[in-house]
Structure 1
């Protein structure tokens, strides 16, 4: 739908489709449960052992599937009925958490069971996050993609990053098994909501000659051949590197520099969720007003500004504002690039191309966390933020050069004109 065929009310409040509220509520409820478990799992591990390495292993077990199973998950998303797969995965996660709950109540829920559950929950998260992104273009008109993605990201950030952890910590204080039982219930609710979605992506027949390996590589080959999305994946990696380094040392910075206790640190993290929710409302309008190229430049500049504030100002209030700005920048960035992937990638490759893109983008997370810790130990936390500010300033300049060349507009035009490749191309 082009601008000439839309009226003022539609351009201001784009229609998202009758199925979108069900997908949004599913994302909101399951993300709330994710946040509950993300907070409760380390607390449970700390009750079972005093070894920091074994406590941290619970988080490692949850995040490892994002790297290990990203590409296979994309293949499954492209091969299967998305709606049915999401329902089955949610039910499986509910059963898994029920087992963990019973194990804790029965006294046989030790660290091995916790690690296995967290790992399998991570696998389910990889599948459902990818599937939801692929499903959005099939249930939402193209004019509403920015708004739809922004609202889902806000629900995920608020649930997993703010409300969920607070609820999880409170529930764990009442009973150790309670948070995991609540999370099991959220996944059952999510399964019911997704099952009521009427629209889904049609399953296209696969050529008999296409093997699993060739299908998995098809998404990587396509993404590598697309200059714009390949470049944005690398930039996303740099953003995640800088952001992960910042968050890895934030707890140290809040204590030693800002002189905050654990509650103050929690409030700082909550500022990110506030920024994410604000961005979910502003990002579509900002993108429409500035254009996608300029919006990406602005987001990189916002992230650079937030890192600069953290590096130069020893104020808890300034740090809270900086973290909110950081979240505004990252959510706006994600809204723009997710819509680009949903519109530029051929539909039959969307799951696999998404997985490869995220694999590249998320590669910066562990590297940034490790580098941030090393730099902070040697020269202090301010240096970590300063380096991040420099990196993001360079990224902003590179994006400005791309914006002057209108690389997004040209890529969209070329995609409309060139025939789409097949899996065997």
Structure 2
């Protein structure tokens, strides 16, 4: 059984992830209810991607300098205050597009600090041999609450009134804060650091990542894979309409099918890690990634695409949990925040660049072109990394 402090962390993570899932649907819906201009609506979605790029490294430095539980508590409390201000503007009828966008940007920025620091807590609370199980439980909450339950609940609450999803998210975050107050962390030795050394600390985390062969290769793998993923998934809604002949409801079903696959991944992860080496899990995962892009490029059947996305959902959960576990095993405690932030910037930077590439390819060469690009890029990654994946998975 995992320690009691970790169980408080898990409960808080599940509750706040439900609030974040509600915001995934309610944020863009709030902006769309205030304007017919598609640009601000698209900007609302972009504001969820920009903060990790802008503040990810700062969040990593902070989590290695300051008490980590305090960071998460302050970040969540800040989100509650922003939500309270948004609720007030909605109730009084003075909310505008600009106010909504600023509120969403502030919420996403605080979430960067909360999420980055939360990932550093599990190695402090559970034995190293239990990290895979611990990360699986945290990721299960993310998939279930943030991707499956939260968005549909957020849309339902918004239909009842614009204020209700904001109020629900605020209540859930407060509940998460109360749970975190019950959690106690072991002391983490911290060298004295002057306030002017933030850039130095960022450079230290980046240099450690580059110098460690396994972690460096892992981050580069994630960068390449997410570049391919961003190119393909940036046009997924158009792909569903043009190549599969689906409407908005069909697109929603396919994304739900993929999230459901993630739940299956949570159920089988413990058994899988007991019977299959982490190196082989990572190898098979990259093969599934490449096969997903190839299958979607070739098929015109919504049923076949649904099966592919279901298997892909299983893979995404297993790969993500394995990647986090491998990194936590390899990185010293005092560098967890900064190395995690380097990984975060690689993820979101590659997604943004991939989205631009995918849009350009679809415009010039057709809707299937980004999927062919993604397949080729992932296949090359598999070929280059096949032998080294075993060493990556057993880095320490």
TM-score bracket for the superposition, by shorter chain length: over 0.9
Partner of 1:253: 239
Please give the per-residue CA displacement for 1:251-276, whole angstroms capped at 9, x wherever unaligned. Answer: 11111222222221111111121111
Separation in structure 2 between the aligned mates of residue 285 and residue 336 of structure 1, nearest angstrom: 13
Separation in structure 1 between the aligned mates of residue 365 and residue 184 of structure 2, nearest angstrom: 56
Partner of 1:354: 340
Partner of 2:180: 194
Please list every run of 5 or more consecutive structure 1 residues that lacks an aligned counterpart in the other structure.
Answer: 1-14, 413-425
Separation in structure 2 between the aligned mates of residue 87 and residue 209 of structure 1, nearest angstrom: 21
Q: Secondary structure of 1:49's partner?
A: coil
Equivalent residues of 1:88, 1:191 under 8 A apart = no
Equivalent residues of 2:148, 2:259 under 8 A apart = yes
Separation in structure 2 between the aligned mates of residue 91 and residue 43 of structure 1, nearest angstrom: 24
Equivalent residues of 2:15, 2:173 under 8 A apart = yes
Equivalent residues of 1:219, 1:353 under 8 A apart = yes
Partner of 2:152: 166
Partner of 1:422: none
Separation in structure 2 between the aligned mates of residue 328 and residue 219 of structure 1, nearest angstrom: 31
Partner of 1:278: 264
Separation in structure 2 between the aligned mates of residue 210 and residue 272 of structure 1, nearest angstrom: 45
Partner of 2:222: 236
Partner of 1:408: 392
Q: Is structure 2 residue 311 aligned with structure 1 residue 314?
A: no
Equivalent residues of 1:29, 1:186 under 8 A apart = yes
Q: Secondary structure of 2:33's partner?
A: helix
Query: Taking structure 2 as the reference length, what is the TM-score of the superposition?
Result: 0.95
Q: Secondary structure of 2:275's partner?
A: helix
Partner of 1:388: 374
Equivalent residues of 2:279, 2:394 under 8 A apart = no
Q: Tell me which stretches of 4 or more aligned residues in structure 1 moved more than 4 Å.
A: 207-210
Partner of 2:139: 153
Separation in structure 1 between the aligned mates of residue 95 and residue 186 of structure 2, nearest angstrom: 38
Q: Secondary structure of 1:258's partner?
A: coil
Report the CA distance between 1:318 and its aligned residue: 1.6
Report the CA distance between 1:284 and its aligned residue: 4.0
> Aligned pair in 2 of structure 1 residues 410, 81: CA closer, same or farther (>3 Å)?
closer
Equivalent residues of 1:87, 1:192 under 8 A apart = no
> Aligned pair in 2 of structure 1 residues 380, 209: CA closer, same or farther (>3 Å)?
closer
Query: Taking structure 1 as the reference length, what is the TM-score of the superposition?
Result: 0.89
Report the CA distance between 1:209 and its aligned residue: 9.7
Separation in structure 1 between the aligned mates of residue 393 and residue 35 of structure 2, nearest angstrom: 54
Superposed CA RMSD = 1.8
Separation in structure 2 between the aligned mates of residue 270 and residue 365 of structure 1, nearest angstrom: 21
Separation in structure 1 between the aligned mates of residue 242 and residue 394 of structure 2, nearest angstrom: 48
Please give the per-residue CA displacement for 1:137-187, whole angstroms capped at 9, x wherever unaligned. Answer: 111121211111122112112222221111111111110111111111111
Q: Secondary structure of 2:388's partner?
A: helix
Partner of 2:6: 20
Separation in structure 2 between the aligned mates of residue 410 and residue 164 of structure 1, nearest angstrom: 35
Equivalent residues of 2:229, 2:354 under 8 A apart = yes
Partner of 1:93: 79
Equivalent residues of 2:326, 2:393 under 8 A apart = no
Report the CA distance between 1:390 and its aligned residue: 2.1
Partner of 1:423: none
Q: Is structure 2 residue 34 aligned with structure 1 residue 48?
A: yes
Equivalent residues of 2:135, 2:321 under 8 A apart = yes
Partner of 2:90: 104
Greater displacement, 321-330 / 129-138: 321-330
